[in-house]
Amino acid sequence: MSLRRITGLILGSMVLAACAGPTTAASQQHATQRWITATGLGGSIASIQHTMATIERLVADPTSNPNDRQTVCSVLLLGVQQANGDLPASGDTVLSSLLAAAYSDLGAAATSCGSSGFAPTQIAAFEGKRHQGLAALSQAAARAESLMGHPLSTSTTNPSDPSSAA
């Protein structure tokens, strides 16, 4: 093959690569920022954390009603499943991985705390998954805030949802 032909192929490849569109980190960050806003990630995280705090109070209170605990654990599981349905995060695999790990652990915690009886082994399983899930959720929130350049909105209404407008 001649030098001219090789040079032509290289130049042609460069032109095609340039026409393929932006695949820069900045465009991936912008896609992730849009995803965070569209899904209401901050509100989802705040809602999950609030529900988990309610469960923690019920678990710590020996006089609490087991039915109340089971109900709140079911609410947590539903919230985690809904949030998990928004994955993967557009453009950011690290954020997606952190959220998937958090949702998996918090879902396992919700399942164990919603069981009837809640024996010591279930409490231990709940506590372990709770700690892991909340840690991953905090890391995901920090990652999202660094990508956004400001704190996440903790509003539990989705601004793109017309039914949430007051």
pLDDT of residue 158: 46
The torsion angles phi and psi of 2, rounded to 5 degrees, stand at -80, 160
The torsion angles phi and psi of 88, rounded to 5 degrees, stand at -85, 155
41-89 confidence digits (pLDDT tens): 999 999 999 999 999 898 888 888 888 888 999 999 999 999 999 999 8
Question: Domain coordinates of the chain in residue numbers?
Answer: 25-158
40: left (phi over 0), alpha (psi -120 to 50) or beta: left
Options 2.60.40, 1.10.150, 1.10.3470, 1.20.120; CATH of 25-158: 1.20.120
27-49 confidence digits (pLDDT tens): 888 888 899 999 999 999 999 99
151 or 2, which is more confident: 151
94-140 confidence digits (pLDDT tens): 999 999 999 999 999 998 887 766 778 888 888 999 999 999 999 99
At position 22, the amino acid (one-letter code) is P
User: What SS3 class is residue 152?
Assistant: coil
149 or 119, which is more confident: 149
Assign 157 a pLDDT band (cuts: 50, 70, 90).
low
**Cα separation, 145 vs 137, whole angstroms:** 12
Contact between residue 38 and residue 148 where contact means Cβ atoms under 8 Å apart: no
Of 37, 132, 49, the residue nearest 86 (C-alpha): 37
**Cα separation, 66 vs 64, whole angstroms:** 6
Tokens of 32: 């992730």
